[in-house]
Copies of this chain bind each other. A is one copy, B any other.
Amino acid sequence: MITKAAIHSRYGDAHDVVAIKEVQLAPFNSGTVLVKMIYSPINPADINMCEGKYYVQPKLPCQLGNEGVGIVEDVSGNNQTVHKGDHVIIPFKSKDHWIGSWSQRVVVDAEDCVVIPKEIDLKQASMLTINPPTAYLLLTQFKSFKKGDWVVQNAANSSVGRWVIYWAKQQGLKIANIVRNKDQINQLNQLGSDLTIEFEPRCANKVKEVTGGVSLALNGVGGQIAIETLRTLRSNGVMVTYGAMSKEPVQVGNAALIYKTVSVTGFNRTKWLETTDRKAVKLMYNKILNIYKSKSISIPIAKVFPFSKIKDAINFSNSESRQGKVLIDWRKSN
């Protein structure tokens, strides 16, 4: 079967190299399902992939897209987990790259699908594959906590940052946020931030004063704000880097390493998938979907584009002024 999908056949500026093309779907063998895609967001990793800046460069042509929500149109063979009409996300990775969710239709193993409860808004569902588990794993894989413990983060106004606040509150933790723009203070306080301070030299002192020092710090930025984020750690604390918005590296002082024995490490959901048993991955997704039923978090959406306008969507997603995510609608061509 033929479908329309977003492809890049060479590396370069995403706006130039991405094109909608007709491609052959994978064989509809027993154990597979045919998914009609609904929405996919444009993520920084998609753009990096086109530009050849992602940590792997797949064989070209490459079918783009690493998250999105679809509806199951057909099921081949006998399986108990996915049924016709189910809303699904596909959090797994194919051998060479992603599942290729920037497409009108995909054929995937039934085992690769996670069914989304029908009451979850489809636009929000399209953004559930990457950021919510990233935030959840950041809070659960590196330190164990008791209720009332503090966690600190920067990049708190990003999608991951907002999810971190949500999951922290779900787990009874307190969350301190160091922001680069003071306009964000009110927004984050409304989301449930327990302490929000604007970045400035030595601002870690204020965080340490209120929290007494934290055992987990999350860094999505790098550079100077990462230095302050790191300074909020107590002995044996860990700072986990999952993003690098400033593109500046992380610098760690010698006294912090030797006398405070802090650790600095990193996290990436795709890397985590590579080393985690598929069953455990699905269990984690089902667990977070189960917690995510109060719908008390809604990630802002800047604009939805029909798939034929994908170049406009990419341009818009690169604009500094946009507020929120850019989605592609795979049901609409204009």
Contacts and interface: CB of A to CB of B under 8 A. Distances in A.
Contact-residue size bin, chain A (C-beta under 8 Å from the other chain) = 20 to 34
Interface in A74-109: none
Interface stretch (A154-162, A164-172, A178-186, A245-253): A245-253
A193 to B, nearest CB: 24
Contact of A257 (B250, B258, B261): B250
Nearest to A244: B254
Interface hub of A243, A263, A267 (most chain B Cβ within 10 A)? A263
A251 B242 CA distance: 16
Interface in A253-290: 253-268, 271, 275
Nearest to A274: B235
Interface string A224-255: 00000000000110000111100101111111
Contacts of A250: 251-252, 254, 257
Number of copies: 2
B265 A261 contact: yes
A254 B55 contact: no
B261 A263 contact: no
A251 B254 contact: no
A265 B267 contact: no
B261 A262 contact: no
A262 B262 contact: no
A216 B252 CA distance: 18
A247 B241 contact: no
B259 A268 contact: yes
A217 to B, nearest CB: 13
A267 to B, nearest CB: 7
Contact of A249 (B241, B251, B261): B251
A213 interface: no
Given A271-B235, A271-B259, A264 B241 contact: no
A57 to B, nearest CB: 12
Given A241-B258, A244-B258, A257-B241, A252 B268 contact: no
26 contacts: A55-B255, A222-B254, A235-B271, A241-B254, A241-B257, A244-B257, A244-B258, A247-B254, A249-B251, A249-B253, A250-B254, A250-B257, A251-B251, A251-B252, A252-B264, A256-B266, A257-B264, A258-B266, A258-B268, A260-B266, A261-B266, A261-B271, A262-B265, A263-B263, A263-B264, A264-B265
Interface of A: 55, 222, 235-236, 241-244, 247, 249-268, 271, 275
